[in-house]
Structure 1
Amino acid sequence: MYNNLETLTSHPVFHYFAEISNIPRGSGNEKGISDYLVHFAQDRNLEVIQDESWNVIIKKAATAGYENTPTVIIQGHMDMVCEKNKGTIHDFEKDPLQLRVIGEMLYATDTTLGADNGIAIAYALALLDANDIEHPALEIVITTEEETTMNGALAVDVTQLEGEILINIDSEEDGKLLVSSAGGVRVVQKLPIVWQDISEDEASYCISVKGLKGGHSGIEIDKERGNSIKLLGRVLQDLSTDFSCSIQQLNGGLKSNAIPREADATVLIRSDEVKKITERIKEWNSIFKTELQSSDPGISIEFKKSENTFPKAFSKETVDKTFTSLLLIPHGVHGMSMGIDGLVESSSNLGVVSTTDSEVTFVSEIRSSVKSIKTYMVHQAKSIAQLLGCDIIIDSDYPEWPYNPDSKVKQLFEETYKEKYGKEIEVIAVHAGIECGVFIEKIPGLDAVSIGPDMFLVHTPEEHVSIPSTINNWEFFIYTLKRMKDFY
């Protein structure tokens, strides 16, 4: 039925998803989409609040017969992860996304789609715009900077909210009810650079690791996908052992919460060693092809003369500390849950490395559903930084969402799913960070669940969302709102 973009946007949810896809909304660049939401509410005479962090709260009165049903907070975030394929011409600061339908899936073109979390905005707008959907009083809360710091949710003034029930729409699996998530924190290690002069017999070459799948550092961390930064570190350390290989630049990854797909280093190579290094790079290509044959079969390492030249290189001491950082900064699963089969309890993702005139910066995302373990992992990061004489910044700390076995809204969703589909909904916990934890910590007694349609490869340019699943999840969502009158 919805086999092209024109017919797809006749559905109210995809109509609004297409509209917001015209508005740039990368993390930190949300004023445009925030203002759009305010104007949307004002045009419909709905109460709207916009705060200094550009968070937006829109309130809609209960429909007839639902006046005594508890107020429901519908929540999502307006920002998206902005990633694109190398060579793609797209300015996330001003260009609209180029949507396309392939089979039953909706994609952007060579960029992230922003279904995470544009679907929540689209659901909210379709609900606010409708006059034929029965529901309790609604408080739509759309936050900023979820993908980077969660500072939007942390800044929301909850005294402006009356809701006792929270339905978050930031999940990525239809037919599953999310009831718990991890907390997280960002760790930034800054290594000072001591520069040294270069000799005339050296030239700049670029070593690049690419072709990895990457992915969301919470959802995909257990899939053992390659981390381009860590892999590049192994190659560089090996080369420096046998050759006069000095670093001039080291860069990779884009976001702390995305497993890095590409990384590159500019290195100084003596002319008489180029041939031998070329052969060594071929060996590493074979090694990584074997190691990552299941998770990242497309991996490749490129070695070529650099298009850029730099007048200086890292000193021997800086090179050693860089390699030590690449080896010691943790990446991957730290521990699995003993209470929930298959659930990652704690992990760390080395997501970004970058070089400036004065320092090499390493940015990691630590996650855990156990607060004490998260604290331990932060202390570990501080010890590594202290060992190497680095500055360290700890920020974007957000709380975990603990499981509540007595949740009434969980029971409601379980019952309505069985009524509608004749089978049990799967109750799950995830290792990703969800804003529910922030709101539960700020509003004592808040009862929360999270739902969403099937999404795939989020935080990558291959991100796509299932069209039938989005419609199915929408219909389940509004059916459950309708049933609230009888349940509460």
Structure 2
Amino acid sequence: MSNNILADLQPHAVFKYFEQICAIPHGSGNVKQISDYLCEFARERNLWFKQDESYNVIIKKPASNSESKAAPVILQGHIDMVAVKTNDKVKDMEKDGLDLYIDDGYVKADRTTLGADDGIAVAYALAILDSKDVCHPPIEAVFTVDEEIGMLGAEAINTDCLEGKIMLNIDSEEEGIFLSGCAGGATLKASYPLKKSDITGTQMSIKINGLTSGHSGTDIICQRANANILMGRLLFAVKECVNIVSISGGEKDNSIAPFADAVIMTQEADKVAELLNNTADVLKEEYSVTDPHLTIKVNCEGEGSTLACDDATTQMLINVLNFIPDGVVKMSNDIKGLVQTSLNLGVAELAEKTFAATYLIRSSSQSEKEYLTDKVGKMTEYLGGTYELKGVYPAWEFKKNSAIRDMLCESYNRLFNKEALVETMHAGVECGIMAAKIDDLDCVSFGPDIIDIHTVKEKLDIASTQRTWELITDVLKQLA
């Protein structure tokens, strides 16, 4: 793990805290340590704080001017990250910090995700909470958990102690774009029972790697390949003459699956190898633009007998991977270029007794989200499985009038002589949940440039981080 790699970067305090955060493992579901770190931060500075049972943390700081009558402002971000690594990276993402380095104006992590989504929001907030020279109104810093697996922290948090009606959600990844609406979502986990028997024949492996991947909200419009869906197409090509031994694909429901592996048994090895390789060539051609580094390797592992899914179960699993839709379902008729409804098969895993498929469903239309959720659920039952829903969150509806949005856009234009853009997005942010909890909340989501979030190529733009700090402090000064 790296230490003091970011010590010379500006803004100094922001990168100091970002490096401290990166030293603490904080993947979704593994947030107690970073939550305790925030509590200790507040305790050392005699700041009011509250930690709930979910490990959400709220920290309050009085206005920089003790005589200020300004209303509190909420600074909000999530403390969990999508924690993934390359197969050759030796690191326990549950226990180890990240290995940071600087490359050509960006902060990166060696062969892992960086967690700038949303560690940089936490770092901004801590820098303000610790500052003695930033002019600001009363601050209510809200740090939520498990945003990346269904916004579970935002759903669980009690906001009764918050007085602010303005919220800066620092959880967007394109500088100069001020988000004012987002899709709602739900995670659907399907489970299918397995029947297995001893199968004799040739054992073969299929390995899919090198996909571009990306965020299943913001990048779904790119129509990139999903490794789980590609595996389904490969198996569909040989559905009459194989039995499935194992399948594993993807890591997170909100990432487009970057890899998948399968092991199969067959008594027609030559025929199956030819069909698989031919289909692989077709798939690589289809995705040559979006996934130029896609590799599909088919290998014969030898002959023998092993426990595998029986014929009926194998057909069921192949049908599951092919019959349930994936990707963009509908584009918006109101906003050009905006995905309205989608779903992503993020994780597929065959265990000893069950096969699990985890989908993230998104839509800016409540009725379409409910319809697609019911459709996938009923299809799951039709194919022989059961399902459960979790992490259901509402869409954040666009407001025509927003004082804080106008202030942010004016400040951005003035500070950097660049035009600010107001947009809505297909990915989810916690503003919708928070707005449902706090009456008359005026909120905007924004942040510095972060490239390739949720992937091992994730990188944080250093200069953009500085500009965003200048923007936040300028707006807080106006509100003080």
Q: Which runs of 5+ in 1 are unaligned?
A: none
Aligned to 2:57: 56
Q: Residues 108-146 of structure 1: CA distance to partner in whole angstroms, max 9, x if unpaired?
A: 000000000000011011111110000111000001010
- Contact in 1 for aligned 2:183/2:362 (Cα 8 Å): yes
Which residue, out of 425, 428, 434, partners 1:433? 428
Q: Deviation digits for residues 282-306 of structure 1, max 9, x if unmatched?
A: 3223212210111001111112245
Q: Matches of 1:338 and 1:219 in 2, distance apart?
A: 18
Paired with 2:164 and 2:369, the residues of 1 have a C-alpha distance of 30
Contact 1:248 1:310 in 2 (8 A): no
Q: Which residue number in structure 1 is paired with residue 332 of structure 2?
A: 337
Match among 209, 233, 251 for residue 248 of structure 2: 251
**Separation of aligned partners in 2, 1:453 and 1:484:** 21
Residue 16 of structure 1 corresponds to 17
1:407–1:307 CA distance, 2 compared to 1 (3 A): farther
Counterpart of 2:206, as a letter, is: I
Residue of structure 1 in register with 2:475 after alignment: 480
The alignment status of 1:320 with 2:320, answered yes or no, reads: no
Q: For residues 5 and 422 of structure 1, do their structure 2 counterparts lie closer, same or farther at Cα, with a shift above 3 Å needed?
A: closer
User: Does the 8 Å CA contact 1:106/1:467 hold for their aligned counterparts?
Assistant: yes
Matched, 1:389 2:384: yes
Q: Residues 11-410 of structure 1: matches in 2 within 5 Å?
A: 11-64=12-65, 67-199=68-200, 202-241=201-240, 244-270=241-267, 273-306=268-301, 311-410=306-405
CA distances 1:51-97 after superposition (whole Å, capped 9, x unpaired): 11000000000121772222111000000001111121110111110
Q: Is the 8 A contact 2:167 2:441 kept in 1?
A: yes
SS at match of 2:396: coil
Tell me the secondary structure at the aligned position of residue 34 of structure 1. helix
Whole-angstrom distance in 2 between the partners of 1:224 and 1:10: 37
- Which amino acid letter does the alignment assign opposite residue 257 of structure 1? N
**TM-fit CA distance, 1:386:** 2.0
Q: Are the aligned partners of 2:75 and 2:169 in contact in 1 as well (CA < 8 Å)? A: yes
Secondary structure of the corresponding residue to residue 426 of structure 2: strand
- State whether structure 2 residue 442 is matched by structure 1 residue 443: no
Give CA-to-partner distance per residue, 1:153-204, whole Å, 9 cap, x none: 11111111111111000000001111111110011111111112213xx132
Residues 239 and 315 of structure 2 are in contact (CA less than 8 Å); yes or no, is this contact kept in structure 1? no
Q: Distance in 2 between matches of 1:386 and 1:66?
A: 62
Shift of the 35–374 alpha-carbon distance from structure 1 to 2, 3 Å rule, reads same
Give distance in 1, aligned partners of 2:124 and 2:107.
Answer: 16
User: What is the identity, as a one-letter code, of the residue corresponding to 1:334?
Assistant: V
Q: 1:463 aligns to what?
A: 458
Cα contact 2:236–2:322 (8 A) shared by 1: no
Q: CA separation in 2, counterparts of 1:9 and 1:37?
A: 22
Kindly, what percent of the aligned residue pairs are identical? 40
Rate the CA distance shift 1:307–1:136 in 2: closer, same or farther, 3 A.
farther
| CA pair 76-389 structure 1, distance change in 2 beyond 3 A | same
- SS across alignment from 2:265: strand
C-alpha deviation, 1:419, in angstroms: 2.3
Q: Secondary structure at the match of 1:216?
A: coil
Structure 2 distance, partners of 1:19, 1:140, is 18
CA distance in 1, matches of 2:380, 2:7: 53
Code of the aligned partner of 2:476 = L
Q: 2:199·2:305 contact (CA, 8 Å) conserved in 1?
A: no
Match of 1:414 in 2: 409
Structure 2 stretches of 5 or more lacking a match? none
More displaced stretch, 273-282 vs 142-151: 273-282
The letter for the 2-side match of 1:220 is D
Q: Is the 8 A contact 1:204 1:306 kept in 2?
A: yes
Kept after mapping to 1: 8 A contact 2:111/2:456:
yes
Residue type of the alignment partner of 1:469: S
CA pair 66-103 structure 1, distance change in 2 beyond 3 A: farther
Relative to structure 1, the CA distance from residue 73 to residue 6 in structure 2 (aligned partners, 3 Å threshold; closer, same or farther) is closer
Amino acid at match of 2:81: M
Checking the alignment, whether the CA contact within 8 Å between 1:66 and 1:136 is kept in structure 2 is no
Q: Does the 8 A contact of 1:66 with 1:135 survive in 2?
A: no
Q: TM-score, normalised by structure 1?
A: 0.95
How far apart, CA to CA, are the structure 1 residues paired with 2:339 and 2:304? 43
Distance 1:339 1:305 in 2: 51
The 3 A distance-change label for structure 1 pair 48 and 308 is: farther
Deviation larger for 340-349 or 113-122: 340-349
Q: Which amino acid aligns with 2:436?
A: E
Deviation at 1:149, TM superposition (A): 2.4
Distance 1:429 1:449 in 2: 10
Q: Tell me if structure 2 keeps the 8 A contact 1:281–1:301.
A: no
Residues 378/392 of structure 1: CA separation in 2 closer, same or farther (3 Å cut):
same
Summarize deviations over 1:226-269 as a string: whole Å, max 9, x none.
0101111111111223xx31101111011111100101111012
Distance 1:10 1:166, change over 3 A: closer
- Cα 1:247–1:156 change in 2 (3 A) is same
- 1:235–1:477 Cα change, 3 Å: same
Could you tell me how far apart the structure 2 residues matched to 1:307 and 1:447 are? Answer: 63
Root mean square deviation, CA, Å:
1.8
What letter is aligned with 1:297?
P
CA contact (8 A) 2:249 2:349 kept: yes
TM-score normalized with structure 2 length:
0.96
